[in-house]
């Protein structure tokens, strides 16, 4: 957690939860309502009636069919009912919004119009979303929005308790850490860094012996540990607030392993890249975390300058 006099923590003011009424998106809406209650943020619940689906219906039944209007009315009733349930159960005001058009484009546009600090989405969905592979919906939305995205995979039973934050000491790291504090205030953080020895394979080919390479690994580990502690100190974290985890090898596999090993219920990770080209794309490590993690994944789409 951040302490007085330390780095300024991002404040969650407005949350946008997108729902298609699937069980996964209902879990996401419930998590968003819990976060709104916990942080005092405003919450908007959004359902987008697919414009493509309506166009197909119009081709079958013609324009102005009463069936088309009945479907829209039913979506509105279902949305209002869900919003009312969240308001009652989570004691937080929920604004319901129904739009028509491209699902992902409308979510992105509404996030911008609302100036949402966080977009919350279920990992699986109905209809169009159900046909996409796990993570693909989030990936597509991440290409359209600059807003942090929380992908919910589990039913929310309590606030996040332990949060895994993979860091690579790029500009994404500080902001991912900041975002973790904002979404999971009071949670214990596990800061994970996976290190490697540069050109280790080529060093072996060049005849560098194993003892020397082990020494390089040890030096890399010590340097990474120092950087990790410096990052935590800069964020104002006390030793009791976090656990360091410095491991050798591939980051993608370590993230999924440590999520289970450290009993974490949330992963917070950058979008993520060291340079402009990589920042335009969703990094392979982030993609792997979205696809393979058991718990929720929060993707930070902004970085500290």
Model pLDDT for residues 80-136, shown as the tens digit of each residue: 999 999 999 999 999 999 998 888 889 999 999 999 999 999 987 544 444 333 345
Domain 162-300 has CATH 3.40.50.880: no
User: With pLDDT > 90 as the criterion, what percentage of the chain qualifies?
Assistant: 53
Higher pLDDT residue, 103 or 210?
103
Q: Is the pLDDT of residue 274 over 80?
A: no
How far is CA 133 from each of CA 35, 130, 187, rounded to the nearest angstrom?
Answer: 27, 8, 30
Cα–Cα dist 135/153, whole Å? 10
In terms of pLDDT, which residue wins out, 205 or 216?
A: 216
Reported confidence tier of residue 138, pLDDT bands at 50, 70, 90 = low
Q: How far apart are CA 294 and CA 177, in angstroms?
A: 20
Each residue's pLDDT tens digit, 147-177: 899 999 999 999 999 999 999 888 888 889 9
Residue 55 has pLDDT above 50, yes or no: yes
pLDDT at 140: 76
Query: What's domain 14-152's architecture?
Result: 3-Layer(aba) Sandwich (3.40)
Q: Tell me the three state secondary structure of residue 199.
A: coil
- What average pLDDT does the segment 177-201 reach? 86
Lowest-confidence range among 52-56, 168-172, 277-281?
Answer: 277-281
Tokens found for residue 54: 């309506």
Average pLDDT over the chain, rounded to an integer: 83
Distant-in-sequence, close-in-space partners of 69: CB < 8 Å, separation ≥ 6? none
Distance in angstroms (rounded) separating the CA atoms of residues 68 and 33: 30
The stretch 16-37 carries a mean pLDDT of: 95
Strand partners, 95: 44
Task: Examine the pLDDT at 304 and tell me if it is beyond 60.
Answer: no
Per the listing, tokens 């080529």 go with: 202
Distance CA 142, CA 40 (A): 25
Q: How confident is the model at residue 53 (pLDDT cuts 50, 70, 90)?
A: low
State residue 129's pLDDT score: 41
Instruction: Among 16-25, 34-43, 169-178, name the one with the lowest average pLDDT.
Output: 169-178
User: What pairs with residue 40 in β-bridges?
Assistant: none
Decide if 14-152 and 162-300 have a common fold: yes
Q: State the Cα–Cα distance between residues 118 and 123, nearest whole angstrom.
A: 15
> In the chain, where are the structural domains located?
14-152, 162-300
Of the given ranges (25-29, 155-159, 280-284, 297-301), which has the lowest mean pLDDT?
280-284
Most confident range, picked from 111-125, 133-147, 201-215, 231-245: 231-245
């Amino acid at each position: 957690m951040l302490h007085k006099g330390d780095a300024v923590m991002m404040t969650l003011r407005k949350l946008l939860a997108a729902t298609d009424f699937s069980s996964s998106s209902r879990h996401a809406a419930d998590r968003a309502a819990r976060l709104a209650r916990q942080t005092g943020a405003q919450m908007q619940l959004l359902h987008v009636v697919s414009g493509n689906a309506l166009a197909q219906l119009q081709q079958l039944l013609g324009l102005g069919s009463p069936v088309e209007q009945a479907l829209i009315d039913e979506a509105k009733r279902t949305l209002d009912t869900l919003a009312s349930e969240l308001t009652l159960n989570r004691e937080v005001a929920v604004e319901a919004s129904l739009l028509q058009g491209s699902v992902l484009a409308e979510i992105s546009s509404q996030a911008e119009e609302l100036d949402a600090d966080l977009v919350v989405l279920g990992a699986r969905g109905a209809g169009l979303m159900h046909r996409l592979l796990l993570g693909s919906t989030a990936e597509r939305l991440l290409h359209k929005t600059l807003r942090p995205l929380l992908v919910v995979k589990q039913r929310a039973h309590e606030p996040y308790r332990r949060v895994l934050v993979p860091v690579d000491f790029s500009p994404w790291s500080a902001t991912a850490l900041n975002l973790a504090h904002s979404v999971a205030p009071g949670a214990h953080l596990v800061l994970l860094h996976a290190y490697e020895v540069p050109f280790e394979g080529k060093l072996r080919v060049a005849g560098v012996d194993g003892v020397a390479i082990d020494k390089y690994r040890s030096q890399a580990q010590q340097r990474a540990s120092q950087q990790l502690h410096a990052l935590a100190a800069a964020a104002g974290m006390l030793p009791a607030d976090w656990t360091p985890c410095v491991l050798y090898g591939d980051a993608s596999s370590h993230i999924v392993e440590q999520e289970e090993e450290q009993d974490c219920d949330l992963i917070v990770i950058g979008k993520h890249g060291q340079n402009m080209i990589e920042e335009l794309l969703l990094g392979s490590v982030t993609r792997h975390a979205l696809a393979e993690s058991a718990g929720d994944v929060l993707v930070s789409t902004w970085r500290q300058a």
